[in-house]
Amino acid sequence: MSTPRCCPHCARLFVPSPYRPLQVVCSQPACQRQRRADYHRKKLVTDSLYRQVVRDSQRQWWDEHPDYQKQRRQRHPKVVAANRQQQHQRDQKRRIERLVRNNLALDLKASAAGIWQLTPQGSDLDRNKLSFRTSIDFPAA
């Protein structure tokens, strides 16, 4: 009998099949699905013929099912709404990241307090806006 091994996907111990002594992944369906996906991903990168066959197969399927996306969107309006909301959030994040990369902030005086120019959400923001950080003296309480 073989010694138990640890599955790289679920981290459970398993005994390899006597028919597959080099078995690395346990026989749980989720782990086997992950093993096949890993193999497919690696094969796409390393084998150009395999990649071409997969591409041709996908193209053939899409040619045979031209209205698939339209029908799927009609059948699942909640998914469409969720995707639209997520895309809106991704676009907003991308806009903010672009603004952060294009803005310059100068710290004129080292201070715990500062004044920053803020704009309302959704307003048109100017690129390359120069903002200055200045100190504020607060009266002692």
Region for residue 128 given its phi and psi (left: phi exceeds 0; alpha: psi -120 to 50; beta: otherwise)? left
pLDDT in tens, 91-128: 999 988 888 776 655 555 555 555 565 666 655 555 55
Query: What pLDDT does 108 receive?
Result: 54
pLDDT in tens, 33-79: 999 999 999 999 999 999 999 999 999 999 999 999 999 999 999 99
Query: What pLDDT does 129 receive?
Result: 56
Query: What pLDDT does 64 receive?
Result: 98
pLDDT in tens, 54-65: 999 999 999 999
Burial 57-89 (b: 16+ CB within 10 A, else e): eeeeeeeeeeeeeeeeeeeeeeeeeeeeeeeee
Query: What pLDDT does 99 receive?
Result: 80
**Does the CA dihedral 76-82-86-87 come out positive or negative?**
positive
Name the residue ranges covered by the structural domains of the chain. Answer: 5-102
